[in-house]
Amino acid sequence: MTFDALGLCAPILSALADLDYEKPSPIQEKAIPPALAGRDVLGCAQTGTGKTCAFAAPILQRLDARPVRGRPIRALILTPTRELALQIQESFEAYGKNLPLRSAVIFGGVGQQPQVDKLKEGVDILVATPGRLEDLHNQGYIHVEKLEIFVLDEADRMLDMGFIHDVKKILTWLPRKKQTLFFSATMPPEVQGLVDSLLTDPVKVAVDPVSSPVEVIDQKLYYVDRGNKSKLLASLIQRPEVKNALVFTRTKHGANKVAGDLQKSGISSAAIHGNKSQTARQQALADFKAGRVKVLVATDIAARGIDIEELSHVFNYNLPDVPETYVHRIGRTGRAGHGGTAVSFCEFGEKELLAPIEKLLKKPIPVVDGHPWPMEVFEAPKRDQRGRIVNADDAEARQAARERKKIRDEAKKAAGKPAAAPQTEKAAASEAQKKETPVSKRQKKAAAVPAKQEKPAQSPASGKRKAAGYRPSRTLEEALTAMEPHWSEEERRAQKQTEYYRDPLAGDVVMDATARLLAPRKPAKAQEPPAKQSGRKKKKPNPQSVSPAVPEAQKRAPKAQVQERQPSRPQADRPKRNRKRRGGPMEVVLRLGSQKDSTEQQGSLMKPYYFNPDED
């Protein structure tokens, strides 16, 4: 089968030829003809199968066949992650390079102005993540009345990441009459519900997951002590067969450290994780893809959705807690049938993580003997009172976080500012206490129930995972299609935080913060009841910071005003980080009483912005 035979037009065929796509992948073969004919399509396929081209090519062709004046948004692609959104838009650009259609991508975590400017210029095809789409829609920048084609990509991940309600809300704005192309690797009941409500007589196409990594990937295992991992990594990466490498670490701190160690050894590397700004992550990914950086060091969460063609090596600097994660990690190097090598490091304390991985693979990973740093430390890993392994990397990351905070606080003290509320420190300390030196209550309990200590060891998150319904995959196919549904609540939260993490130096964040500081308080109506305390303890007013002339009702604007401005995301989805940063007593002092903001003056074209300490 050729692309020609699928009915694609010459400009698209020529673009595909330029990309060296010789023949359609199975999903393209099955989905392109009905999509071209205007039918709804339900595609069961995951990233790596070529599904982007399966929907992008027909969309481009259909829109091009019937030009519309004024460039309204005629195709909308909703996808869960920023990285996927970017890749999809790049694909539209590549497949549509010979057509006069315009596409744009919008996602959170970066300043909105460039995206708004693009929208104002007019786009035919919009690729979006749910949060930013809602934000911009609510600000009046998104007009979908003329929408002809809607794509819901990775619907199961939307569910996993807690976006399903946002998706349902977005669906309510779209015209009823439209073509829908729906993709999901798995079909949990909630996703099936969406399918039933959204699709009309769909053509169902399903393809197998990308070929099992075991067959195409050369796997190797090195037993090596924790202290020698970075030396071994550097020596392996310097070998000529390593063209580029993705290194997985357990923690964000570990990713920074490994990238730094590689740099010291003269190997160009960059770390990506949730603490990096979106701009830094995008830059690192772009540098890596362009070959300017040889090694990308990432945590599992940050590496989600990243599709790097022709990745020669994956290194597991730390073995993952969950065997399915191992399969997902090494699968990054076997894309589109290219071979690749996956190298895993295992220290003595990680041996317990190896067994379930090999059980899933149904064979042992070949061990490389005779390397310069053989394992010499055979100490049993430390365990807490419950018999769980105390992970040395986690403990190191926590210690580093505490030290960073100490330095920050000392710097603030020196600058005469009050040290940050010890909330995070407290949380970290109590978390550390929980995991490392259990509180006396726990000790008492553990002592009273000695049988619990004799239970087989669990990795820290495995209990939570089990509670969340985790069931080990029996086969590799199952592990591949499972798409990380095995995350604990903690991991899901971390992912959400990553997703909504905003670069504090990004233009719109600085603007927001400034606006917040300068914003007046909306004068409260005399009869209005005071707003609810939203579960927080009522703070005593600080006599130095709060004007005594301001009545309490004025200090807290009613909730409704907040919703008017930020209705886009459920409260629970927002990062705690922001919540803490905003409501501090410092922000309460400014612009109270009868002072008027310029936006409140008569004739102002701008909508006044009112500060509300309950916001977020």
Is 56 in contact with 95 (CB distance < 8 Å)? Answer: yes
Alpha-carbon torsion 566, 572, 574, 575, what sign?
Answer: positive
Burial of 265 (0-12, 13-18, 19+ CB in 10 A): middle
Report how far residue 558's alpha carbon sits from residue 528's, in angstroms, rounded to the nearest whole number: 8
> Minimal distance in Å, beta carbon 612 to ligand AMP?
42
Alpha-carbon torsion 45, 49, 54, 55, what sign?
Answer: positive
> Minimal distance in Å, beta carbon 335 to ligand AMP?
6
Round the CA-based radius of gyration of the chain to a whole number and report it.
27
Report how far residue 131's alpha carbon sits from residue 167's, in angstroms, rounded to the nearest whole number: 9
Tell me, by CB under 6 A, how many residues bind ligand AMP: 15
Report the residue number, 55 or 501, with the smaller CB distance to ligand AMP. 55
CA 218 to chain centre: 28
> Minimal distance in Å, beta carbon 49 to ligand AMP?
5
Which one of residues 8, 12, 25, 36 is an interface residue with ligand AMP (CB under 6 A)?
25
Which one of residues 6, 30, 31, 47 is an interface residue with ligand AMP (CB under 6 A)?
47
Nearest to 36 by CA among 53, 18, 15, 17: 53
By rule CB under 6 A, what string of x and - marks binding of each residue 332-371 to ligand AMP?
---xx-----------------------------------
* Residue 80 in contact with ligand AMP, rule: CB under 6 A: no
Stretch that binds ligand AMP, among 47-55, 316-324, 509-517, 606-614 (CB under 6 A): 47-55
Stretch that binds ligand AMP, among 23-31, 324-332, 469-477, 565-573 (CB under 6 A): 23-31
> Minimal distance in Å, beta carbon 158 to ligand AMP?
17
Which one of residues 40, 52, 86, 278 is an interface residue with ligand AMP (CB under 6 A)?
52
Report the residue number, 54 or 144, with the smaller CB distance to ligand AMP. 54
Is 135 in contact with 470 (CB distance < 8 Å)? Answer: no
* Residue 498 in contact with ligand AMP, rule: CB under 6 A: no
* Residue 290 in contact with ligand AMP, rule: CB under 6 A: no
* Residue 81 in contact with ligand AMP, rule: CB under 6 A: no
> Minimal distance in Å, beta carbon 442 to ligand AMP?
46
Which one of residues 49, 269, 481, 568 is an interface residue with ligand AMP (CB under 6 A)?
49
Which one of residues 51, 328, 435, 569 is an interface residue with ligand AMP (CB under 6 A)?
51
Which one of residues 32, 35, 50, 244 is an interface residue with ligand AMP (CB under 6 A)?
50
Q: End-to-end CA distance of the chain: give it in Å, rounded.
A: 54
Report how far residue 356's alpha carbon sits from residue 471's, in angstroms, rounded to the nearest whole number: 12
Task: Residue 53: count other Cβ atoms within 10 Å of its Cβ.
Answer: 25
- Residues 6 or more apart whose CB falls under 8 angstroms from that of 60 comprise 12, 92, 95, 96, 99, 101, 125
Stretch that binds ligand AMP, among 21-29, 284-292, 459-467, 490-498 (CB under 6 A): 21-29
Query: How far, CA to CA in Å, does 76 sit from each of 11, 165, 168, 182?
Result: 22, 18, 14, 12
Between residue 299 and residue 328, which ones bind ligand AMP under the rule CB under 6 A? 307, 309
Residues in touch with ligand AMP (CB under 6 A): 21, 24-25, 28, 47-53, 307, 309, 335-336
